[in-house]
Amino acid sequence: MMQFALIGAGFIGPVHAANIAAHPRAQLRYVVDLNRDAASRVAGQHGAAIADSLDVVLADAKLDAVVICTPPRSHAAIIEAAARAGKAIFCEKPIDLDIVKVDACGAVLRKTGVPFFVGFNRRFDPTHSALHEALRRGDLGRAEMVIVSSRDPEISPPDYVAAMPYGIFYDTMIHDFDMVRWLTRDEPVEVYARTSVMLDEKINPVRDPDTAMVTLVLAGGALVHVNSSFRAVYGYDQRIEVFGEKGMLISRNQQPTSLERHGADGIHQAPLHYFFIQRYVQAYAAELDHFVTSVETCQPPSIGFEDGRRALAIAYAAMESAKSGRPVALPR
Amino acid sequence: MMQFALIGAGFIGPVHAANIAAHPRAQLRYVVDLNRDAASRVAGQHGAAIADSLDVVLADAKLDAVVICTPPRSHAAIIEAAARAGKAIFCEKPIDLDIVKVDACGAVLRKTGVPFFVGFNRRFDPTHSALHEALRRGDLGRAEMVIVSSRDPEISPPDYVAAMPYGIFYDTMIHDFDMVRWLTRDEPVEVYARTSVMLDEKINPVRDPDTAMVTLVLAGGALVHVNSSFRAVYGYDQRIEVFGEKGMLISRNQQPTSLERHGADGIHQAPLHYFFIQRYVQAYAAELDHFVTSVETCQPPSIGFEDGRRALAIAYAAMESAKSGRPVALPR
Amino acid sequence: MMQFALIGAGFIGPVHAANIAAHPRAQLRYVVDLNRDAASRVAGQHGAAIADSLDVVLADAKLDAVVICTPPRSHAAIIEAAARAGKAIFCEKPIDLDIVKVDACGAVLRKTGVPFFVGFNRRFDPTHSALHEALRRGDLGRAEMVIVSSRDPEISPPDYVAAMPYGIFYDTMIHDFDMVRWLTRDEPVEVYARTSVMLDEKINPVRDPDTAMVTLVLAGGALVHVNSSFRAVYGYDQRIEVFGEKGMLISRNQQPTSLERHGADGIHQAPLHYFFIQRYVQAYAAELDHFVTSVETCQPPSIGFEDGRRALAIAYAAMESAKSGRPVALPR
Amino acid sequence: MMQFALIGAGFIGPVHAANIAAHPRAQLRYVVDLNRDAASRVAGQHGAAIADSLDVVLADAKLDAVVICTPPRSHAAIIEAAARAGKAIFCEKPIDLDIVKVDACGAVLRKTGVPFFVGFNRRFDPTHSALHEALRRGDLGRAEMVIVSSRDPEISPPDYVAAMPYGIFYDTMIHDFDMVRWLTRDEPVEVYARTSVMLDEKINPVRDPDTAMVTLVLAGGALVHVNSSFRAVYGYDQRIEVFGEKGMLISRNQQPTSLERHGADGIHQAPLHYFFIQRYVQAYAAELDHFVTSVETCQPPSIGFEDGRRALAIAYAAMESAKSGRPVALPR
């Protein structure tokens, strides 16, 4: 049984904790969080211990792996400590917010050689996976255009938003940039981005961009569009469309039920899943399983440091473009 | 230019008149209706003459064909007169309501040999046609079950209903019985029917059946279900599903527009077409074109007397079953 | 923690075992099966003990409940034994095959008063549940017609089929009969059924009916159609359509992924879920949770003895009708 | 009866000729084309005369209106001549290719005051119209993002392409730019465009851009994405999605039939309409009717000179951006 420590018990932490607990070959040993209440709630649910500090946890020789769910700015330091302690690392995206720190922690990872995985969970969604397989199989031939719609039903709380200006790029769209790289097996050479503040002052008092469109030009010539919003009142809108020489593939949205009502006013279906927790429930379980299996079999996890770094670099280029109003070139 | 007389200017008459007028090789010469206003309205729109009597019209040697849209009880007499005058005949379903009269008029048709077509317009709908072609192509292999939903948005006026008791079978479902014969190329050997009166006293004061389900057992063993209602508040519901050894084919409903709205309350689409005039606009034009072409090329029209008679016989067997509560055998 | 014994480790047994093991307030204590290999496989997966006999298991005072997944003919005896031992009972449908035995075991259940639940799992499917709620809410007004398509992708092995002649009614459609009762809150007063043998000799050597259509007339006048087949090559086809005065509700099929491919040959989507295990994965977990909660809170489970008995009685009436070719009246 | 001359009998000319002929209050009097064969083919079908020159036609006092379907470069001269002759003008888009000539002809139109209509036919499509109405009704609240996919199934012949470099913007996307203006009632202030040459040398020997993505920033802050391709092998892909504070509206694609096949390999539907002639058959008839009615009632047609000019200006700005690689500002 692989022994895990969960670092960060808020937000997505409980999802990972539950998946570890339900996994036949994994066990949740520790939960670490500055917020003792959050830590003890999650630990209690799954019979794990609460640890006072990361050091104590990493010193336990029986611990195999850490799952890092703390705020992004703290990631690099935790990754480095865990790597030096020889633990396998499952890190939520982004690797960190500071690209200098990201590179420093990349060096540590290379030196220590510990398994390192970035939680781009969407790669493990069954439908996105089916899209990926269809592309690998050659169903479309060359991909010529990619259109990604990636919209959240709500904006984060003001303090979260204030702490991460232009987060729409490196906190949200970073997932989409990863998907584009993964699906096309190509890299962007130019990024152009435009943002807008569309939400009311009440729900977006920080006036940080809540609406954005990005164009990517890939090295191979394919054109990519990504759009995002923090106010999709109809639910979590996550569609990917790839157009190519043999046609088009669409990873469509999903609904919790398939009931249809026909009334005098038309045809009605249930709304989409509300948010990512509901939409990607299978993906979260599958990425944990992939991580466990990778570590057990000594294979590098399918999403590594370089993937995490590149998605962040694209996000930052998009932010730069949005600020300057000019397209930004990306080194290959 | 083929010269037509329209016999009966009400209800579906104007649809046929417009299709004749728009047809490049057909011309509307006469309109005959006891209701002079109706006749002159239709005639005026298309530059046709109003005729005082059927005899006058049939005596015109320049007239090639008649389209019969009068109430069903008058069909047989008009068919016989037109046949004896040597005119090609396009007759709305049913051939007549009295099977004895139907057979008598069949004898006249055989003797005179004039082209005779029964207006089972649904056979000319593009989607039902595509279903038919898929079956002929063998996409399903042997058909094992057929499920037909055939629902009207409203019931006919009380006097119309009163004049045709159990009309749900021989006025409405007769179309479906024809579709089943056409699609399966098989004949029913047993009919079982059940009806219900579900509409309010106000809109169905006659208390004639407004809801019905029919089971047909085909000679080849396939099972058929047909359901009908006169209160589909969501529009004209016309679906045909054929299930077979290689899968299932569904002729789905159609909507006038393809707009989709996603709101906090779910996903919304436009209602179905309201009724048969909207839904089968292409089918009406196509059947007229088929009739014209058949007559021009001296080919028998694709839907003949025997088709009209058999569909009626099935409808009457269904009525008998609904009244007796027992399955009714049909001669092959 | 509620302690369970699984009686019958084949077929659906492992599904229930896994759900018990995953339930936060339930534990799998014993697995009983004449087939020791099957028993030890399931027991081993979830850390349960293998028991040599039902008697040993029922004698354990720490055991709270049994889940009965043995072949139908053995159900009544096991139910009676478990009831006399004071255990809560979760029984797979049907209650038994012999209606006399069913009634006898009903008497025992009434006398002992143990909690008794029949596993009509579909009532716990999220979409069927949403349909149920919409009906209770009055979205349709009075239900006038119900159309149920209930098709399996494959037929059971010949020995299974041979042991349960006309099983299409009491082994398969019994689920649909329960759904109709549950959704309409009404009872059938007449049943008419027709069957066909459509599968090849090779896959249905027993020549037991593999295709069936049933008409039910409900006490309130609503008409019901149910069709079934053991050869839906496109997957597990489970649709329920309720038509009423305010429109139509459809519990549509479901697919494992929502990928769509547009090619020169048209638009393509993934097939349906293959079979009930995939389609009803949530329903199986939800019914187990319902059972646990019912027992814990001393509430009678939502599906009781009378529900199981009535669905069986409808199934037998359908069989009788199919054999005699006549509609069969059902006592209210 | 309004008397029409068709100027240009190729390409879209026959569609307009047929709609004029079928219109109850319009008549096709002349067909003019340098290609006498094309002219006589169209004229013959509808009983019109062939005219040797535009001058002869415009000199006919009985002529009310011209429909201009010649190549774009000839439009301005014909518009001016027709305007000076006092004829009502229905002109295919674009008004002309040379913006200086466009402005000159605008001056003539203002001076003469003849009715002038630009054939942005999509505004008359029932589904796009329903989208427009929903926006006007306020179903979405403020529009925040617009995503337009506008893809042709094939590229024009090489000589056509060679004559109009970057035609993807001013010949194709010009329709989409008009739709965006019409739907949002807002104007772009910035355009950014990227193109790619994706088609094989054989079908695009000119190597003119066949794939493009455009971003528009509207004055009100809304962001717009338009993508286009000349190789949608699955048919004419014409979707418009508007996202706003209350949800999302999608004008979806349309298929000629609604047949669905379920096989072991999944669910299959018919391809989309092949191209604009099939997709917009209703729109072409409706725009002609609008033009006739406008002229009859002395109302200015709903799409005027300014609409045609602005769409062209956006297209040219997109071309400039695609060539320079930089966003281009548009004067308000």
Encode D23-62: b = buried (16+ Cβ within 10 Å), e = exposed.
beebebbbbbbeeeebbbbbbeebebbbbeebeebbebee
Provide the pLDDT for residue D22. 87
Predicted confidence (pLDDT) per residue in A80-98, tens digit: 999 999 999 999 999 999 9
Q: Which residues of A touch B266 (CB under 8 A)?
A: 234, 268-271
Mean residue pLDDT of chain D comes to 97
> H helices within D113-248, ranges in order?
126-137, 158-163, 167, 174-184
Encode A22-43: b = buried (16+ Cβ within 10 Å), e = exposed.
ebeebebbbbbbeeeebbbbbb
Mean pLDDT to the nearest integer, A41-58: 94
Which residues contact residue A123 at a Cβ distance below 8 angstroms, ignoring those fewer than 6 apart?
A: A129, A132, A178, A179, A182, A283, A287, A302, A303
Q: What are phi and psi of B275, to 5 degrees?
A: -155, -175
Query: Shortest CA distance to C191 belongs to which of C169, C164, C161, C172?
Result: C169
Q: Are the beta carbons of A134 and C259 separated by less than 8 Å?
A: yes
Q: Are the beta carbons of B229 and C144 separated by less than 8 Å?
A: yes
> Residue C332 above 80 pLDDT?
no
Angle formed at CA D128 by CA D127 and CA D134, multiple of 5 degrees: 90
**Predicted confidence band at A51 (pLDDT cuts at 50, 70, 90)?**
very high
Q: Which residues of C touch A251 (CB under 8 A)?
A: 258-259
Longest dimension (CA), chain D: 67
Smallest Cβ distance to D139: which of B22, B134, B261? B261
Rounded to the nearest angstrom, the minimum Cα separation between A114 and chain B is 45
Q: Are the beta carbons of B270 and A267 separated by less than 8 Å?
A: yes
Cβ(B132)–Cβ(B182) below 8 Å = yes
- Proportion of chain C above pLDDT 90, given as a percent: 97
Closest residue on chain B to A256 (Cα):
B266
Q: What tokens does B24 get?
A: 């490049």
Cβ(B45)–Cβ(B17) below 8 Å = yes
Provide the pLDDT for residue D331. 84
Query: Shortest CA distance to D236 belongs to which of D269, D275, D271?
Result: D275
Which residues contact residue C107 at a Cβ distance below 8 angstroms, ignoring those fewer than 6 apart?
A: none
Print pLDDT tens along chain D (332 aa): 999 999 999 889 999 999 999 898 999 999 999 999 999 999 999 999 999 899 999 999 999 999 999 999 999 999 999 999 999 999 999 999 999 999 999 999 999 999 999 999 999 999 999 999 999 999 999 999 999 999 999 999 999 999 999 999 999 999 999 999 999 999 999 999 999 999 999 999 999 999 999 999 999 999 999 999 999 999 999 999 999 999 999 999 999 999 999 999 999 999 999 999 999 999 999 999 999 999 999 999 999 999 999 999 999 999 999 999 999 999 87
Provide the pLDDT for residue B266. 97
**Predicted confidence band at C84 (pLDDT cuts at 50, 70, 90)?**
very high
Smallest Cβ distance to B234: which of C217, C222, C248? C248
Query: 3-class SS at D241?
Result: strand
Helix-then-strand count for chain D, H and E: 12, 15
Measure Cα distances from C121 to A169, C155, D276 in Å. Answer: 45, 20, 49
Provide the pLDDT for residue C22. 87
Q: In what order do the strands lie in the sheet with D26-32?
A: D49-50, D26-32, D2-7, D65-68, D88-91, D116-118
DSSP 3-state helix, strand, coil percentages of chain C (rounded to 5)? 40, 25, 35
Mean pLDDT to the nearest integer, C303-327: 98
Cβ(D262)–Cβ(C153) below 8 Å = no
Measure Cα distances from D14 to C288, D9, D45 in Å. Answer: 67, 6, 9
Q: What tokens does C43 get?
A: 């027991």
Cβ(A299)–Cβ(A315) below 8 Å = no
Provide the pLDDT for residue A331. 84
Q: What are phi and psi of B204, to 5 degrees?
A: -135, 65
Cβ-based neighbour number of residue C196 at 10 Å: 20
Cβ(A4)–Cβ(A22) below 8 Å = no
What's the start-to-end Cα distance of chain B, in Å? Answer: 41
Query: Got the DSSP string for B35-57?
Result: SHHHHHHHHHHHTPEE-S-HHHH
Q: Does B268 touch chain A (CB under 8 A)?
A: yes
Query: Shortest CA distance to A173 belongs to which of A234, A115, A228?
Result: A228
Closest residue on chain A to D222 (Cα):
A196
How many interface pairs between B and C have CB atoms less than 8 angstroms apart? 104
Smallest Cβ distance to B225: which of C196, C225, C237? C225
Q: What are phi and psi of B266, to 5 degrees?
A: 125, -165
Q: The tokens 């989709």 sit on which residue?
A: B260
Interface of A with C in 236-255 (CB under 8 A): 246-254
Encode C153-163: b = buried (16+ Cβ within 10 Å), e = exposed.
bebbeeeebee
Angle formed at CA C6 by CA C3 and CA C10, multiple of 5 degrees: 160
Residue type, C59: A
Provide the pLDDT for residue B22. 87
Query: Shortest CA distance to D174 belongs to which of D254, D102, D264?
Result: D102
- Alpha-carbon distance of B177 to B93, in angstroms, equals 12
Which residues contact residue B117 at a Cβ distance below 8 angstroms, ignoring those fewer than 6 apart?
A: B88, B89, B90, B91, B287, B290, B291, B294, B301, B302, B303, B304
Q: What tokens does C14 get?
A: 């492992």
Which of the residues D249, D261, D281 would you substitute to probe the B interface, choosing the one with the greatest number of B C-beta atoms within 10 Å?
A: D261
Interface of C with B in 142-161 (CB under 8 A): 142, 144-145, 147, 149, 151
| CATH numbers and ranges of domains, chain B | 2-114 (3.40.50.720), 122-283+311-329 (3.30.360.10)
- Alpha-carbon distance of B254 to B274, in angstroms, equals 10
Which of the residues D257, D274, D282 would you substitute to probe the B interface, choosing the one with the greatest number of B C-beta atoms within 10 Å?
A: D257
Rounded to the nearest angstrom, the minimum Cα separation between C147 and chain A is 14
Q: Which residues of A touch D239 (CB under 8 A)?
A: none
Q: Are the beta carbons of B249 and D259 separated by less than 8 Å?
A: yes
- In what helix (H) or strand (E) does residue C135 lie, and over which residues does it extend? helix C126-137
- Alpha-carbon distance of C176 to C212, in angstroms, equals 13
Torsion of CA C109, C110, C115, C119, to 10 degrees: 60
Provide the pLDDT for residue D24. 85
- Alpha-carbon distance of D47 to D30, in angstroms, equals 9
Mean residue pLDDT of chain C comes to 97
Q: Which residues of B touch A229 (CB under 8 A)?
A: none
**Predicted confidence band at C287 (pLDDT cuts at 50, 70, 90)?**
very high
What's the start-to-end Cα distance of chain D, in Å? Answer: 41
Smallest Cβ distance to A266: which of B262, B263, B268? B268
Q: What tokens does D281 get?
A: 């058959």
Q: What are phi and psi of A238, to 5 degrees?
A: -135, 90
- In what helix (H) or strand (E) does residue A266 lie, and over which residues does it extend? strand A266-269
- Alpha-carbon distance of D314 to B3, in angstroms, equals 54
Provide the pLDDT for residue C331. 84
What ipTM does the predicted assembly reach? 0.96
Closest residue on chain A to C249 (Cα):
A261
**Predicted confidence band at C137 (pLDDT cuts at 50, 70, 90)?**
very high
DSSP symbol at B161: H
**Predicted confidence band at A214 (pLDDT cuts at 50, 70, 90)?**
very high
Cα D123 to its chain centre, rounded Å, is 9
Provide the pLDDT for residue A27. 95
- Alpha-carbon distance of D281 to D260, in angstroms, equals 24
Cβ(D240)–Cβ(D250) below 8 Å = yes
